[in-house]
Chains A and B, each alone.
Chain A
């Protein structure tokens, strides 16, 4: 009598678990990236896809609206990569929508950013002939994004706006425009951007804006690093390796930024020098943060044996 009662209990429990598992699968399938999601395709030719992975985020106006479902080299367009994305229902993808990639300086992970050129344009629903999904156009090159960043800064930050406006005084605006045009023509990839700015450094106006935009990104990443660093004590094992790698990657950017700021400081234009000083300070702040994180293990466990300087001692 006793053994039969236990078998019944075990069998019932097993059935309940199987039913719950099935329900969970159905629920997962029907939500998120399931059948309600809208799929689109993007041909990327100008943007580097380094750091892009399946399930990477797709964002619009800063919000996550979907994810990358796959990518492959294009057989129909030479040099292009086809990226497939799945978007939440209700995401307003229009015919004027463009896609660009953004890469986080610290983690190196890339996201696909969607932006609507005009909110009045019709929704993108039709698939072109021969395409399984509607195709979103690729956005501007990284250099154009950089100039967009400068424009956004001008709108959002009063102090930055004042400086940019001064830089764009009538006597400078022609040269500034020419410099930007030159940079737009030549710059195709983000990596080439730094090299180009160095090579044309006598064009101080363009370089100043480029440096300023880079500084804004670096400040954000410095904040992220600082927060990660603060949480090191609670998540030491997972964070140490990540932070050291991030700092290693970032140090080269800091060095380049600081060198260009130094060169700007040597110029005779007082406004540019003023801007460069601010940028230099930001770069140094970041460098100092990176320096403190050079070996986070030491923060927890102290310097290695024999690693103390003259007169230094642990209590």
Chain B
């Protein structure tokens, strides 16, 4: 009888230990809203690389300076550098540029600065304009943008990321237009 009671008690305790339902996973698209290529001479846009911590589908945030963490239930639909590359290529590629210049980009940072509410969406990208024929780097610059998050959560941060990326691609576009001018045909 004691053994039966013991097993029953253990079963009840085990059932209590099982966690209940949690917030479902949500996936967000990093979308700057690029619709058409620019009018200037196209450049070859190489795949965007990313710093190791951001080379993931997890959305990063920071609650204190110098620290980074990942959201647990909120993720990108694909790694952010892939989205950034696709949108850079859509805006700056636009056609064959086999003899033209190449744009190399690296995603240095993309995180929700959540040290204060509602926080800020921060993106930093380093761009290099390369002449493949001469194997020389013609220009190099780091671009960064910060946009207030719409709310103190992942959806609000993603809204900020999208706006920040749109502005950042505009910055890169303007920079490429200036730097590529001597090589444009």
Contact = CB atoms under 8 A, between A and B. Distances in A.
Interface of A: 262, 265-266, 268, 284, 287-288, 291, 298, 300-303, 307-315
Given A291-B57, A302-B22, A310 B72 contact: no
A302 B19 contact: yes
A310 B112 contact: yes
A314 B71 contact: no
Contact of B56 (A291, A303, A311): A291
A309 B71 contact: yes
Contact of B78 (A262, A265, A284, A312): A284
A307 B22 CA distance: 14
Interface of B: 19-23, 44, 46-47, 49, 56-59, 61, 63, 69-74, 78-79, 82, 98, 102, 112, 114, 119, 151-157
A314 B22 contact: yes
B112 A288 contact: no
Given A265-B47, A301-B19, A312 B73 contact: yes
9 closest cross-chain pairs (CB), A and B: A311-B153, A309-B71, A266-B46, A314-B22, A310-B114, A302-B19, A265-B47, A262-B47, A303-B72
7 contacts: A284-B82, A309-B59, A310-B71, A310-B152, A310-B153, A312-B73, A315-B22
B72 A309 contact: yes
B58 A291 contact: yes
Contacts of B56: 287, 291
Contacts of A298: 72
A314 B19 contact: yes
A307 B119 contact: no
A312 B74 contact: yes
A262 B72 contact: no
A315 B119 CA distance: 24
A285 B66 CA distance: 30
B20 A309 contact: no
B23 A312 contact: yes
B61 A309 contact: yes
Given A291-B57, A314-B23, A262 B49 contact: yes
A315 B23 contact: yes
A309 B70 contact: yes
A315 to B, nearest CB: 5
B169 to A, nearest CB: 19
Given A266-B47, A284-B78, A310 B20 contact: no
B152 A311 contact: yes
A302 B23 CA distance: 10
Nearest to B21: A315
B20 A312 contact: no
A311 B152 CA distance: 6
A287 B50 CA distance: 15
Given A268-B98, A301-B19, A302-B19, A312 B154 contact: yes
Contacts of B155: 311
- Residue in B22, B63, B119, B156 whose Cβ sees the most chain A Cβ within 10 Å: B22
Contact of B69 (A265, A309, A311): A309
